[in-house]
Amino acid sequence: MNQPARNYHMELETFRRHGHAAVDWVVDYLKNVEQYPVLSRVKPGGIRAQLPEHPPQQGESFERMLADVQNIILPGITHWQSPNFFAFFPGNSSPPAILGEIISAGLGVQGMLWATSPACTELETHVLDWLVEMLGLPERFSSKSRGGGVIQHSASDATLCALLAARERCTKGESNHKGGNGRLVAYASAHAHSSLEKDCRIAGIGSDNLRLIAVDENFAMRPAALEAQIEKDLAAGLTPFFVMACVGTTSSLALDPVRAVADVCRKHGLWLHVDAAMAGTAGLCPEFRFIHDGVEDADSYVFNPHKWMFTNFDCTAFFVADRQALIGTLSILPEYLRNQASEAGAVIDYRDWHVPLGRRFRALKLWFVIRHYGVEGLQFHIREHVRLAQAFKQWVRESRQFELVVDCPLNLICFRHRDGDAATERVHKAVNESGAMYLTHTKLNDRYTLRMNIGQTRTEERHVQMAWERLSEAAK
């Protein structure tokens, strides 16, 4: 056979050189990130207008690509890694996570089966067992019991899987085979994340069969209202099957009373799923574990290391108490995936634990993060974020311009201008437009409310102080 005269691949030694340049670029970016306006100022279409209409016919140099990242892409970036990012929830990255990501991309393995890369599966199981220990979660979520953990793409996907497993447990596998019966009903607080409604649509439950339960003055679910709604649905001949409790809602970080909700679930035989997407990370510190009170009765639990735990997206940790319930729901075995290790039942095949088949080696970055910081280092930074948020809360309390909307014990402070919505909106617009910081809002009791979320990897006291000064200035 004739060898082709050339190929178009990047020579590995060239890759080494560009790899160093790319890491240098990231280091410089992270060093300078504070200087950029946090919220991108680009207008819709502004980035595309700078890109060539057609793809290049001939390959281009890496230097040109990197230059375009600097000149075209960077202005269109909202800087989630800025210590002045206080919006939504953090989407943290950190050097050990980035290093894990590089090696994962280099290995480029698919971890759908144990056999397709044993280390990918075993490290994941191991690190998720570590998380059970680190967060003080119940033993039943550990792979050493009947349960276990898996890394998923997002909390939305994990909650979908919980919903599907609950549906199959309730219908004894019937709905997977014969289709839903339109009578299943799911429950969550009125402040639950919107992903649950989407998941209900996808799972064939339907938006109409999701009941949003009333909340108390702290925006936490009222267990008595949950119980009453379940009784009402039972009386109407419907089938309650699933309850989601939120440990830290997105609007205000409200903490549903998991123990009381679990009592209701046990009484009626319902699946209890706990969504601790952001706040779960606080469980690293024993003094914050009160947020997990009652979780030992949950059937499933999810939190996102890709929010507050310094591990860049995507990395959702999803745990179930009975892995058979999950696997029984999602396992399908075509001939081309049959293999000895799986048939022998000696291994975990994570493809059966979520919707997609293919999966990246995400445990590596989580492993690096945990090993770099150590439990002590992670605790230190989480405590520091909470300390800063509590200091901020105190400033709001003592302020003549702002008022506190809800008393959060963790790292999200909700507040508003004493003069009403128009004044709050004016302050909000002014600080975001200044570029010096970025925060987002919500509505609580129909009032426009600012959310100050303190949890970015490198946020320090001086950033929070500066933010407060800007807010106070804008409020005058």
Ligand X SMILES: *Cc1c(COP(=O)(O)O)cnc(C)c1O
SS3 5: coil
Q: Does 246 bind ligand X (CB under 6 A)?
A: yes
Q: Which of 93, 316, 379, 457 binds ligand X (CB under 6 A)?
A: 316
Interactions with ligand X, residue window 131-160 (CB under 6 A): 154-156
Closest contact distance (angstroms) between CB of 200 and ligand X is 14
CB of 453 to ligand X, least distance (A): 10
Q: Smallest gap, in angstroms, from Cβ of residue 281 to ligand X?
A: 11
Start-to-end CA distance of the chain, whole Å, equals 79
Q: Which of 80, 89, 318, 373 binds ligand X (CB under 6 A)?
A: 89
Q: Tell me, by CB under 6 A, how many residues bind ligand X.
A: 15
Query: Which is nearer to ligand X, 417 or 451 (by Cβ)?
Result: 451
Structure tokens at 357: 């088949």
Strand pairing category for 271-275 and 239-246: parallel
Q: Which stretch binds ligand X (CB under 6 A): 46-54, 127-135, 242-250, 282-290?
A: 242-250
Assign 68 to helix, strand or coil: helix
CB of 130 to ligand X, least distance (A): 20
H or E element in which residue 431 lies: helix 421-434
* 159: nearest Cα among 91, 121, 210, 124: 210
- Which helix (H) or strand (E) segment is 67 a member of? helix 62-68
Q: What is the DSSP string of 210-267?
A: EEEE-B-TTS-B-HHHHHHHHHHHHHTT-EEEEEEEEBS-TTT--B--HHHHHHHHHH
Q: Min. distance of Cβ 278 from ligand X in angstroms?
A: 4
**By CB under 6 A, what part of segment 168-207 binds ligand X?**
193, 195
CA distances from 426 to 91, 256, 404, 469 (A): 26, 32, 17, 16
Applying CB under 6 A, among 233, 275, 299, 322 the residue interacting with ligand X is 275
Contacts of 329 (CB under 8 A, 6+ apart): 161, 164, 165, 167, 168, 176
Which residue number, 316 or 459, has a Cβ lying nearer to ligand X? 316
Task: Tell me the closest approach of the beta carbon of residue 91 to ligand X, in angstroms.
Answer: 9
Q: How far is the CB of 409 from ligand X (least distance, A)?
A: 16
278 is an interface residue for ligand X by CB under 6 A: yes
Per-residue string for binding with ligand X, 400-439, x by CB under 6 A?
----------------------------------------
Query: Facing residues of 255 across strands?
Result: 247
Task: Name the site residues for ligand X (rule: CB under 6 A).
Answer: 89, 154-156, 193, 195, 246, 248-250, 275, 277-278, 304, 316
